[in-house]
């Protein structure tokens, strides 16, 4: 069957999908606010233990990567395949750096014995248990999204190499960009919730 192309449909679909993703995290934000309301003090103190510098660096990394993927779309529109690929590679590298940072951050806490179900954490009271529970769950889910995003971008890059994505047919690249912006956006919410509001 000859499939006809409808870029607008494709983009609408992507937007709707992003909408559901936002609601997915939305549920978690509700849980977060309820528990923050109940355990205001503990959340306040626990937030101090997260490293604001690492969080800030990661925020900047994601913001830049959002910019590079947007530029990559412009590049393909201008038929500059090489530049587009280069920018995608940078995006992927930035994403990986984010993950490495995350790895060290988590590792640091885990070394201190602070992880869900650990005895050190359960000694510290309900507020801390919930704060770190949410911290690991939400940043973990976010990291999973980053990983999926990286794989997605990888496929897109391959398609560009094979000329499946070109200047007049780049809706998939745009969609991967949209997805990446979403991942970025969610982090913009996570960052203040866990690191900054104290």
Name every residue whose Cβ is closer than 8 Å to that of residue 101 and which is 6 or more positions away in sequence.
Answer: 54, 57, 58, 61
Q: Check: CB of residue 106 under 8 Å from CB of residue 55.
A: no
> What is residue 12's three-state secondary structure?
helix
CB 191 → another protein: shortest distance, Å?
Answer: 20
155 or 167: CB nearest another protein: 155
CA distances, 30 to each of 8, 15, 118, 193, 198 (Å)? 32, 22, 25, 12, 18
CB 33 → another protein: shortest distance, Å?
Answer: 11
CB 139 → another protein: shortest distance, Å?
Answer: 13
107 or 116: CB nearest another protein: 116
26 or 107: CB nearest another protein: 26
CB 151 → another protein: shortest distance, Å?
Answer: 16
Residues binding another protein (CB under 8 A): 1, 3, 6, 8-10, 12-13, 16-17, 19-21, 23-28, 30-31, 34-35, 38-39, 115-117, 122, 125-127, 129-130, 133-134, 136-137, 141
89 or 169: CB nearest another protein: 169
**Residue 6 backbone phi and psi in degrees, to 5:** -135, 95
28 or 94: CB nearest another protein: 28
CB 173 → another protein: shortest distance, Å?
Answer: 18
Which DSSP string do the residues of 46-88 spell out, in sequence order?
HHTTS-HHHHHHHHHHHHHHHHHHHHHHHHHHTT-HHHHHHHH
87 or 174: CB nearest another protein: 174
**161 membership: H or E segment, kind and range:** helix 126-161
Token couple for 107: 């590792």
CB 190 → another protein: shortest distance, Å?
Answer: 14
């Amino acid at each position: 069957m000859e499939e006809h192309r409808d870029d607008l449909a494709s983009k609408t679909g992507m937007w709707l999908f992003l909408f559901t993703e936002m609601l997915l995290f939305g549920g978690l934000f509700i849980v977060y606010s309820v528990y923050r309301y109940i355990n205001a003090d503990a959340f306040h103190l626990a937030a101090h233990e997260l490293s604001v510098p690492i969080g800030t660096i990661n925020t900047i990394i994601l913001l830049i990567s959002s910019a590079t993927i947007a530029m990559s779309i412009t590049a393909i529109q201008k038929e500059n395949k090489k530049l587009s690929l280069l920018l995608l590679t940078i995006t992927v590298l930035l994403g990986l750096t984010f993950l490495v940072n995350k790895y060290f951050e988590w590792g640091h806490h885990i070394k201190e014995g602070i992880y869900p179900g650990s005895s050190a954490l359960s000694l510290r009271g309900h507020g801390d248990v919930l704060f770190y529970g949410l911290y690991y769950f939400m940043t973990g889910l976010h990291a999973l999204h980053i990983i999926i995003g990286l794989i997605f971008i990888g496929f897109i890059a391959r398609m560009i190499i094979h000329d499946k994505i070109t200047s007049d047919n780049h809706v998939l690249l745009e969609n991967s960009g949209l997805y990446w912006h979403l991942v970025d956006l969610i982090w913009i919410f996570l960052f203040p919730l866990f690191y900054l509001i104290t």
